[in-house]
Structure 1
Amino acid sequence: MTDFLQLRSLKTLEVLSDEDRYVVKAEGVSSWTACPLCKAGRLYGHGSQEQSFQDTPSHGKPVEVFIQRRRYRCQGCGKTLFEPVADFDGKRQATARLVAHIRKETFTKTFAALAREVALDEKTIRHIFDDFVEEFEAKVRFRTPRILGIDELKIIGQYRAMITNIERKTVFDIRPSRAKADLLPYFRSLRDKDTIEWVAMDMYHVYKQVVRATLPQARIVVDRFHIQRMANDALEKLRKRIRKDLPARQRLRLKDERFLLLKRQHDLKGEDMARALEWFRQFPQLGEAHALKEGFLSIWDHKTRAEAEAACVHWLGNIPAELAPTFKDLTNAVYNWHEEIFAYFDQPITNAYTESVNRLAKDMNRMGRGYSFEVIRARMLYDAKARQDGVVVETVLVDDEGPVTTNYQFQRMTMQSVRKTQVERVIEYGPYIPTLARLLEEGYFE
């Protein structure tokens, strides 16, 4: 008859079943031959103690194993110890295979659901998951980016800082918050942080402070799409202000023209151009604001930093007094972040996969229903399928062990020639963002 448990270190004695669980009585099949602590002392029986351990569910029901576990005392060192049961986990009242099962399932089930399934406390599930992630973090090392991006995603109601490798378009890390208290110690302890040369970010002052304090060698570049968006926001602010005083029918029409007015002027053709010009005729200030928006966006059409800065000075001088309040946020940003904004022309980098990042935020939030942030982060960063497109195999030259020496003349014995060998190294840069976005959209993580 097949043993119910099918564990090498245990023998099933009895199986009891009710509607809620299986109760298995078992005994160990191994014993100590010598004290494993002092390696010399003779062991003798010192009673026994009933212990219970959870095992993997069977037929959809939790399994609890009871064992009358023998206890020994060493005549040499005087220590007491229980008989060995190799299939028990060393840290918890559970079998090793149940712990392995929980590790796997925490990537697909909530802690609460898994706790009900295996009849363990939810805290135990979390601790097993935390140990699992800790092992991953010790084993899986993503190479620190040369060009690093800091973006943010709103996941489970909070803004989180997403650290990316801009050159490789991969996720390097996802932090639980974008707060200074979290980011400062993180970047201070970052491995190989001296390799970071550039950091792209939006104009969140905390990011700037953290980079200045922890990565003094790195130059900051403001993501051009963030500063350009402020020009669109200024135009939007004016459009909404104008709408408020219009009759209902015209107010609805202008509401529907949002995307028309946000279009670049060179994309306005035919009917679109005619409609835009009609609005500008009725509301000249709207036309002026649209021209200012276009003038600001055209700064990034210039090839050199000097040309772009000159164009910006010209643009600032053309803002009429009546529109200065509308563009105040943008002009303040230009003054306060001038160096970082125009550093783009020294190193034209952005968090350019905006569409993928936006999709990540949407799909992560959908996945986040019932999951903790820690689970989402681990699933994004450490799932093998998500990481595979961020792997690069590099061929490097390394020195052979031990130089080759000549020994037929004393003078030549001091001359050494070192052989070089080509070695392939697997380098992980993190999960590739377009692949990650696709997997999320396809429901792979659900």
Structure 2
Amino acid sequence: MSISNDIRKLLDIQDQNIDFEENCVHDGTFKGKPCKFVNARLTYEPAYCPKCDAPKEGASIYKNGHQKSRITLPMAGTCATYLVLNKQRFMCRACQRSFTAKTPIVTPHAFITNTVKAQILMKAAEAQSITAIANDCQVSHTTVQRVINEEAKRFKQQNKKLPHHLSFDEFKYAKGRMAFEYINVETGELLDILEARTSRAIKDHFRTHYQLKDRRRVETVTIDMNAGYVSVIQALFPNAKIIIDRFHLVQLISRAMNKTRIQVMNRFKTSNNEDMKKYRRLKAYWKLLLKKASDVSMTTYKYYRLFGQRLESAIIDELLSYDDTLRVNYVLYQNLLRAMDQQDHQALEQLLTQPCLQATSTHLRTSMKTLRKHLPYIKHSFDYTYSNGRIEGMNNKIKVLNRVAYGYRNFTNYKNRILLYFKLKPVSPSVPKQKKTRFIAA
């Protein structure tokens, strides 16, 4: 009996009706691969017949042979491990039908233990491919996907209430195909994923799953500068305020400023040595022109290639002296950054509505036109602290899943994997900082 207890603990089997004998483990091969087989016997005294519910009285239910099953266990060492279980069969005199002893380590008519299924789900919460999980658990990739799909049913939306603050975004999952996702911007909970990001698909989804009274309770929706989302939000959420993510605002004008630098830089790509020197400097120190003026060092000297010992501010001044257009755009770019950093909507509005100077580049004028179009929603981004930071971080992890799996053909399988990845992923506990102990020499 002590051997059975030790093996049960080793294999994580809780059923006391499974008995193991000495020398029950032996090596073998299955499907051409080396493995370990563990022989065991399952028997007990049934209280009633599961076929006719007749209680056992005396010998009304008697033993009637055995049925052998090969059940997949978690790997022990480097080889696949199988439990060869000899199940007791019983015969009922009342209904003249037989039945087999059951064990909770597997579901009825299954040959993969619940422990292996739990192991599959634990690995599905990590950035691993389906094939890698199947190899680690010694099951087929079809079995892995089936376990994931069954578990994902628990996390699908079923008449849940919408949170007060939402966040919208999209991600690419196939060539030329974009999926839509929305989350609770306060908690970062992934609510649902749609196969398409079209206005029709989004409207049909929210109108089907949520009533108008639920959609009226939504207070804010945070988005990037996707013009299609604005009309969708106004149609679905009458009381919601649209918030433009602040990162995308800065990114828009930063890219415009960088394109302006490239445009000016290419003018100096000539056969003249002085022009090529300016070209190399503008190409090498592009980050300094995108840096906020408040972060530029004006006191510390450093050695810079192509310049020598200089201040950051001195390098920027010299780069701007190469072209008047570059200087005008740089000043406007810094003013826009300052207004956004200080959340000064009035100053930003004045910068965007003033007549554009002829020296301003076409790239910056186009960006300012886009900002003017979204000016009412930019004010909301200054009034609220919500952003698309959480959903953008989730998109990065989703792309990792897609890259590890080399793409998904079936969107439903991809969606289920994403749901499990975020729902089952354990949260790492925050370790409190230990107080440093000061030792004093005696």
2:370 matched to which residue of 1?
Answer: 333
Please say if residues 152 and 161 of structure 1, whose CA atoms lie closer than 8 Å, have aligned partners that are also in contact: yes
Instruction: Tell me how far 1:171 sits from its aligned partner.
Output: 1.6
**TM-score (structure 2 length as normaliser):** 0.68
The answer for the alignment partner of 1:150 in structure 2 is: 168
1:219: which partner in 2?
Answer: 241
Preserved CA contact (<8 Å) 1:201 1:207: yes
Structure 2 CA distance for partners of 1:75 and 1:333, relative to 1, 3 Å = farther
Match of 2:319 in 1: 279
Change (3 A) 1:80 1:209: farther
CA distance in 2, matches of 1:160, 1:61: 40
Instruction: Indicate which of 75, 96, 106 corresponds to 2:114.
Output: 96
CA contact 2:329–2:361 (8 Å) conserved in 1: no
**Corresponding position of 1:2:** 3
1:348 aligns with 2:384: yes
**Is the 1:160–1:174 contact (alpha carbons within 8 Å) kept by the matching residues of 2?**
no
**Selected match of 2:79 from 56, 61, 68:** 61
In 2, the alpha carbon distance for the partners of 1:253 and 1:309 equals 31
Give the direction of change, closer, same or farther, for the CA distance of 1:330–1:114 in structure 2 (3 Å limit). Answer: closer
What's the secondary structure of 1:54's corresponding residue?
strand
Structure 1 Cα separation of the partners of residues 245 and 370 of structure 2: 13
Show CA shifts across 1:414-437 (max 9, x none). Answer: xxxxxxxxxxxxxxxxxxxxx9xx
After superposition, the Cα gap between the structure-2 partners of 1:241 and 1:256, relative to the gap in structure 1 and judged at 3 Å, is same
Q: Does 1:255 align with 2:283?
A: yes
Taking the aligned partners of 1:203 and 1:15, their CA distance within structure 2 comes to: 63
Structure 2 residue matching 1:21: 3-state secondary structure: strand
For 1:126, the aligned partner's letter is: Q
Contact 1:28 1:69 in 2 (8 A): yes
Distance 1:214 1:71 in 2: 60
1:113 equivalent in alignment to 2:132:
yes
The one of 383, 398, 423 aligned to 2:425: 383
CA separation of 1:185/1:130 partners in 2, compared to 1, >3 Å: closer, same or farther?
farther
Post-superposition offset of 1:175: 5.7
| Deviation of 1:152 (Å) | 5.9
Evaluate the alpha carbon distance shift between residue 77 and residue 67 of structure 1 in structure 2; reply closer, same or farther with a 3 A threshold. Answer: same
Look up the SS of the partner of 1:180 in the other structure: coil
SS at 2:427 equivalent: helix
In structure 2, relative to structure 1, the CA distance for the partners of 1:5 and 1:160 (3 Å cut) is farther
Structure 1, residues 12-64: CA drift from partner, whole Å, max 9, x if none? Answer: 46543136112234332125342235423766777765432212222332222
Aligned to 2:19: 11
Distance 2:295 2:72 in 1: 66
Matched AA of 1:241: Q
- Asked if the contact 1:70/1:82 (under 8 Å) is kept, the reply is yes
Q: Which runs of 5+ in 2 are unaligned?
A: 270-275, 299-310, 408-413, 432-442
Cα distance change on mapping 1:138 and 1:269 into 2, 3 Å: closer
2:132 and 2:391 map into 1 onto residues whose CA distance is 30
Output one character per residue of 1:153-201: Cα deviation in whole Å (capped at 9) or x when no partner: 78999977665554x4x42217657842675566553696554301121
User: What letter matches 1:319 in structure 2?
Assistant: C
d(CA) in 2 for partners of 1:303, 1:65: 66
Instruction: Report how many residues are paired.
Output: 379
* 1:129 partnered with 2:148: yes
- CA RMSD in angstroms comes to 4.3
Are the structure 2 counterparts of residues 235 and 210 from structure 1 closer, same or farther at C-alpha, using a change threshold of 3 Å? same
Q: Distance in 2 between matches of 1:301 and 1:56?
A: 55
Q: 1:290–1:358: structure 2 CA closer, same or farther, 3 Å change rule?
A: same
Structure 2 residue 44 is matched with structure 1 residue 30: yes
Which residue is equivalent to 2:255?
233
Would you say the 8 A contact 1:149–1:199 is kept in 2?
yes
Change over 3 Å in CA distance of 1:319–1:385 after alignment to 2: same
Give the Å deviation of 1:284.
0.7
Q: Give the superposition deviation at 1:290.
A: 1.6
Q: Which residue of 299, 311, 317 corresponds with 2:350?
A: 311
The verdict on how the C-alpha distance between 1:78 and 1:235 changes in structure 2, with shifts beyond 3 A counting, is farther
Cα offset, 1:237, TM superposition: 1.2
